[in-house]
Chain A
Amino acid sequence: AQSVAQPEDQVNVAEGNPLTVKCTYSVSGNPYLFWYVQYPNRGLQFLLKYITGDNLVKGSYGFEAEFNKSQTSFHLKKPSALVSDSALYFCAVRDSGNNRLAFGKGNQVVVIP
């Protein structure tokens, strides 16, 4: 079965600094990888996905993620964080062999003005 690990509970970053949210995954087949963001009292919103092709994926709101097959990682990055980026971020993986999506436990990002 597929699984996702998000090792940090909270990431604090100063506004304007680079933001990185870490994610590692485990699947038996080819991974389909996703990042979602959740703002308070809202549902999750899709940010970006990796299916195949370029290892660097660009998504919404200036976010990007880098797929690294050898390290089984899919870290989310943003070059310059905004206060409005403060939210809960979830990494998710789907194995190519099934249609279930496994979510990580989430990372709280706090951008400090």
Chain B
Amino acid sequence: NAGVTQTPKFQVLKTGQSMTLQCAQDMNHNSMYWYRQDPGMGLRLIYYSASEGTTDKGEVPNGYNVSRLNKREFSLRLESAAPSQTSVYFCASSEQPELGNSPLHFGNGTRLTVT
């Protein structure tokens, strides 16, 4: 099992450019998440999708959009990148978040630098 796969692994953008981060999971999980990780700040939730066809804002959604393409795939789009979006982005999935006890399964991250 591949688990959660993120592409690309690394990306450098110039301010104002756009890009889409891709995420796919093969565990048949219902819920998927996008986090960003910054030094000393832990992980902050950008957007999540509790189930196919639904998306909701997390803690830091400004400057991002998401698409839950199907049950497997959840993409994150930066329409106009800013230096403040330089970060490591993690996609995660879980089986049933509504039950409250499902652990998250994480991808290996996308390291994004905006110059």
A→B interface (CB under 8 Å): 4, 9, 32, 34, 36, 41-46, 49, 51, 90, 94, 96, 99-101, 103-106
Find out whether the CB atom of A105 lies under 8 angstroms from the CB atom of B100.
no
In the bound assembly, the distance between CA atoms of A96 and B50 in angstroms comes to: 15
Chain B residues with CB under 8 Å of chain A are 4, 31, 40-45, 48, 50, 58, 90, 92, 97-98, 100-101, 103-109
A-B pairs with beta carbons under 8 A, tally: 55
- Which residues on the B side are within 8 Å of A44 (C-beta)? 43, 90, 92, 104, 106
Q: Is the CB of B106 within 8 A of A43?
A: yes
- Give min CB distance, B103 to chain A, whole Å: 4
Q: Name the prevailing secondary structure of the B interface residues.
A: mixed
**A34 in contact with B42 (CB, 8 Å):** no
> Which chain B residue has the least Cβ–Cβ distance from A106?
B42
Q: Which of A32, A46, A101 contacts B105 (CB 8 A)?
A: A46
Whether A43 touches B103, Cβ cut-off 8 Å, given contacts A90-B43, A103-B43, is no
Which residue in chain B gives the minimum CB-CB distance to A47? B103
